Amino acid sequence: MEEALLTKRRHALEAEVSREPFNYDTWFDYVRLEEQAGEAGQAREVYERAIANVPPTKEKRHWKRYIYLWLNYAMFEEQHNVERAGMIYEKALFDLIPHETFTFSKIWILYSHFLIRNKQLDKARKLFGQALGRCPRRKIFKAYAQLEEKLAQFDRCRKIYERQIEVFPDSSDTWIEYAEFEA
């Protein structure tokens, strides 16, 4: 009975994604179905098909749900194949997202956290540096400063705050965070 329901749901989702390949919510439903069915290979195949549907415009609003497919895919692979998860983050960050038009702080931060979990602190620091060089965002500065503070690397943390003040000199939040850090 369960297999029949699973097959019926797969066919319905298959028809939906064929009709509307850029409806990322349907892709999420499809992937979730395969993950819940315990079909890692099937889930991977659906993820690959889903991410092949790159938004046709360079407007960030069209990319938000799409990028979450990549993030979920990377987190899924972290449970199954850590090396593959790293490749997914790298492909999304360095081959896909048009950083000159827009970026997503979340993917930079999550990839850095992934690297830290996998004992690649130097690579995580380098990634934070790349993010701040290419597309400085307050969230990225904050995440990087928090990392260094947790590691008791106060000189590094101080330099991050100083750089953030250079980039965002009119941000009262930055000044407050820096003052709280120094207190």
Q: What is the CATH number of the domain that holds 14?
A: 1.25.40.10
In a domain, 117, yes or no: no
pLDDT tens sequence across 126-148: 999 999 999 999 999 999 999 99
In a domain, 76, yes or no: yes
d(CA 43, CA 30) in angstroms, rounded, equals 8
DSSP state of 53: S
- 163-177 mean pLDDT: 91
Domain count, the chain: 1
In a domain, 178, yes or no: no
- Is 13:30 a contact under the CB 8 Å cutoff? yes
Return the half-sphere exposure (C-beta side, CA atoms, 13 A cut-off) of residue 2.
Answer: 3
Binned at pLDDT 50, 70 and 90, residue 183 comes out as confident
In a domain, 58, yes or no: yes
In a domain, 45, yes or no: yes
